[in-house]
């Protein structure tokens, strides 16, 4: 009798453990076979994984499948995401060492050796069912690890196909295909939980429920926080430039990105002019009555309505019964006030709805941004359009966020860009403010362990007076 298929085995009582155990066994075998690979061979593997999705016809096919699979976003944006994020990540990874000695500090007598972390469980979201698995696999394999991908149930077909393409590329260059595997369908919480408990590191992008489950799995875990990006437009901003960047960022992939602007806070003295610029960039300024229609359409029973989130503007306008002109817009401007708990428009919307707030001055704008982040998105990021770098520095000093982007289209800059210094990633850590273990963009360093070779150096021991002298002089012994 043939053994049951992985999918059938997973449906049997306790079958999740059996399925995952076999996947992990194969992953460890692949890592052993890969262990002798030098840096050039590792980089070849990473390049192969990048090409699996970057190749134009594949980038399009996976984008089309993702939209069909999930009903979220749009094809052209997902093509850009599949290629741009992958290309940028490959650039970053090919510039660093992860094999053997990666750093030597002669003054301290320390030499650092990179080692794999082990088998990585990569939990991925429905919003990026192709780009995120490749992004994480590239980083994991760069560290000499194997990765097992846990798809979102609604993006499962896309993720499975993506993993097939990665495995094909590894086979083409003669490397173990089991360096990259995927949970067999149908994926559910029990199977994903079993994977998180069996691996050596869990890296989760997606729902905060999954992040919390990862942190409680008993396995070292890296999770990311929820997005809900507010952006300030101050009096010195180039309003047309700001409006064009906000619009391009907002409409990208129908606002599925966690880095998409959800609110814009505009200083009072340029409020009308800024709104006019946003309208010129394709925004539709809703009436009070239409605001209520949007509210009742976007949220049903306190939850975001899947019939309108991440959908084209025409679909949203039809569902919300907005005026005919709204269907021709690129996004919707909803004017709101006093953001905070109990004000839904201050929350993450995953749609082409941009909340607009008026602030008396920069201090008031910061107060409102804090109120927005208290609703959702604390720790993630904010943006500012300004010609006064002092204003940007004030945001960085006063706000509990990991990233403050200046004069940038937030969606294109927050996860790394060719014109800023952030690492390319699809997973943005948000610090302890969001209950995360990292406060930077996920990158290759999170996928390596480091052994420190420590040798004797000339003694570096100051005197008691050197260390305590100032204290003694001020307060006595």
CA distance 345 to 228: 11
pTM equals 0.94
pLDDT tens profile 406-421:
999 999 999 999 999 9
Q: What is the CATH T-level fold of the domain 6-224+442-452, as seen in this structure?
A: Aldehyde Dehydrogenase; Chain A, domain 1 (3.40.605)
- 258 catalytic? Reply is yes
CA distance 264 to 333: 9
Sign of CA dihedral 344, 345, 347, 349: positive
- For residue 85, the model assigns a pLDDT of 97
Which residues, 6 or more positions from 107, have their beta carbon under 8 angstroms from its beta carbon?
A: 457
CA distance 205 to 226: 9
Partners of residue 451 on adjacent β-strands: 113
CA distances from 137 to 26, 89, 343, 453 (A): 16, 11, 39, 29
* 150-177 b/e (C-beta count within 10 Å ≥ 16 → b): bbbebbbbbbbbbbebbbebbeeeebbb
Would you tell me which CATH number, out of the four given (3.90.650.10, 3.40.309.10, 3.30.360.10, 3.50.50.60), belongs to the domain 229-414?
Answer: 3.40.309.10
Sole residue written with tokens 């919707």: 332
Residue predicted with more confidence, 9 or 227: 227
Among candidate residues 199, 258, 376, 430, the one labeled active-site is 258
The answer to whether 146 and 180 have CB atoms below 8 angstroms apart is yes
- The DSSP line for 159-200 is HHHHHHHHHHHHHHTT--GGGEEEPPSSP-HHHHHHHHHHSS
Please return the burial class of 238, using the count of CB atoms within 10 Å of its CB with bins 0-12, 13-18 and 19+. Answer: middle
Q: Give the strand pairing for 221-223 and 201-204.
A: parallel
Is the pLDDT assigned to residue 133 strictly greater than 60? yes
CA distance 267 to 357: 9
With cut-offs at 50, 70 and 90, classify the pLDDT of residue 12. Answer: low
Measured distance between the N- and C-terminal CA atoms of the chain, rounded to whole angstroms? 82
Q: Which stretches of 233-270 are DSSP H helices?
A: 239-251
- For residue 16, the model assigns a pLDDT of 87
CA distance 341 to 228: 14
CA distance 205 to 125: 6
Sign of CA dihedral 204, 206, 207, 208: positive
DSSP assigned state of 218: S
Q: What SS3 class is residue 321?
A: coil
CA distances from 104 to 101, 112, 114, 255 (A): 7, 6, 12, 44
Is the pLDDT assigned to residue 1 strictly greater than 50? no
Residue 94: half-sphere exposure toward Cβ, Cα within 13 Å: 13
Number of H-type helices and E-type strands within the chain: 17, 17
With cut-offs at 50, 70 and 90, classify the pLDDT of residue 14. Answer: low
pLDDT tens profile 240-266:
999 999 999 999 999 999 999 999 999
Question: Domain ranges in the chain?
Answer: 6-224+442-452, 229-414
- For residue 2, the model assigns a pLDDT of 47
With cut-offs at 50, 70 and 90, classify the pLDDT of residue 3. Answer: very low
When pLDDT is averaged across residues 102-118 and rounded to a whole number, the result is 98
Is the pLDDT assigned to residue 377 strictly greater than 60? yes
pLDDT tens profile 322-364:
999 999 999 999 999 999 998 999 999 999 999 999 999 999 9
Is the pLDDT assigned to residue 129 strictly greater than 90? yes
Q: What is the mean pLDDT of the chain?
A: 96
Q: What SS3 class is residue 16?
A: helix
- Structural Rg of the chain based on CA atoms: 24
Which among 234, 268, 278 is positioned nearest to 406, based on CA atoms?
234
The two domains 6-224+442-452 and 229-414 share their CATH topology (first three levels equal): no
Structure-block tokens of residue 214: 């990862």
- For residue 302, the model assigns a pLDDT of 87
Structure-block tokens of residue 291: 């605001």
């Amino acid at each position: 009798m043939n053994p049951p298929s992985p999918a059938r085995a997973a449906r049997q009582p306790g079958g999740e453990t059996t399925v995952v155990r076999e996947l992990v066994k194969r992953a460890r075998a692949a890592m052993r076979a890969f262990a002798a690979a030098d840096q050039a061979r590792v980089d070849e593997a990473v390049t192969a994984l990048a090409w699996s999705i970057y190749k134009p016809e594949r980038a399009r096919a996976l984008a089309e499948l993702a939209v069909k699979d999930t009903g979220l976003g749009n094809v052209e944006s997902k093509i850009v995401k599949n290629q741009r994020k992958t290309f940028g990540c490959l650039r970053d990874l090919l510039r660093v060492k992860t094999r053997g000695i990666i750093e030597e500090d002669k003054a301290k007598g320390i030499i650092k050796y990179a080692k794999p972390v082990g088998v990585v469980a990569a939990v991925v979201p429905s919003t990026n069912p192709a780009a995120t698995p490749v992004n994480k696999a590239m980083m994991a394999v760069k560290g000499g690890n194997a990765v097992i991908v846990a798809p979102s149930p609604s993006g499962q077909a896309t993720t499975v196909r993506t993993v097939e393409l990665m495995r094909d590329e590894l086979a083409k260059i003669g490397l173990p295909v089991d360096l990259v595997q995927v949970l067999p369908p149908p994926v559910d919480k029990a199977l994903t939980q079993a994977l998180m408990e069996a691996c050596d590191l869990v890296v989760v992008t997606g729902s905060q429920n999954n992040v919390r489950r990862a942190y409680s799995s008993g396995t070292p875990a890296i999770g990311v926080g929820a997005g809900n990006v507010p952006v300030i437009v101050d009096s010195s901003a180039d309003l047309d430039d700001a409006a064009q960047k906000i619009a391009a960022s907002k409409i990208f992939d129908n606002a599925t990105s966690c880095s998409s602007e959800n609110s814009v806070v505009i200083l009072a003295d340029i409020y009308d002019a800024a709104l006019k610029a946003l309208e010129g960039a394709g925004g539709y300024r809703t009436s009070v009555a239409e605001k209520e229609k949007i509210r009742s359409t976007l949220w049903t029973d306190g939850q975001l309505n899947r019939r309108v989130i991440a959908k084209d503007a025409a679909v949203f306008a039809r569902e919300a019964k907005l005026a005919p002109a709204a269907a021709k817009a690129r996004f919707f401007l909803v004017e709101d006030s006093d953001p905070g708990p109990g004000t839904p428009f201050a929350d993450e919307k995953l749609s082409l709805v941009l909340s607009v707030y008026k602030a008396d001055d920069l201090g008031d704008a910061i107060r409102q941004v804090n109120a927005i982040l208290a609703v959702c998105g604390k720790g993630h990021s904010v943006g500012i359009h300004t010609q006064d770098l002092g204003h940007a520095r004030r945001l960085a000093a006063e706000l509990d966020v990991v990233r403050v982007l200046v004069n940038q289209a937030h969606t294109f800059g927050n996860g790394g860009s060719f014109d800023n210094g952030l690492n390319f990633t699809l997973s943005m850590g948000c610090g302890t403010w969001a209950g995360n273990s990292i406060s930077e963009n996920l990158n290759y360093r999170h996928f390596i362990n480091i052994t420190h070779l420590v040798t004797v150096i000339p003694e570096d021991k100051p005197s008691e007076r050197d260390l305590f002298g100032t204290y003694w002089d001020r307060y006595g012994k």
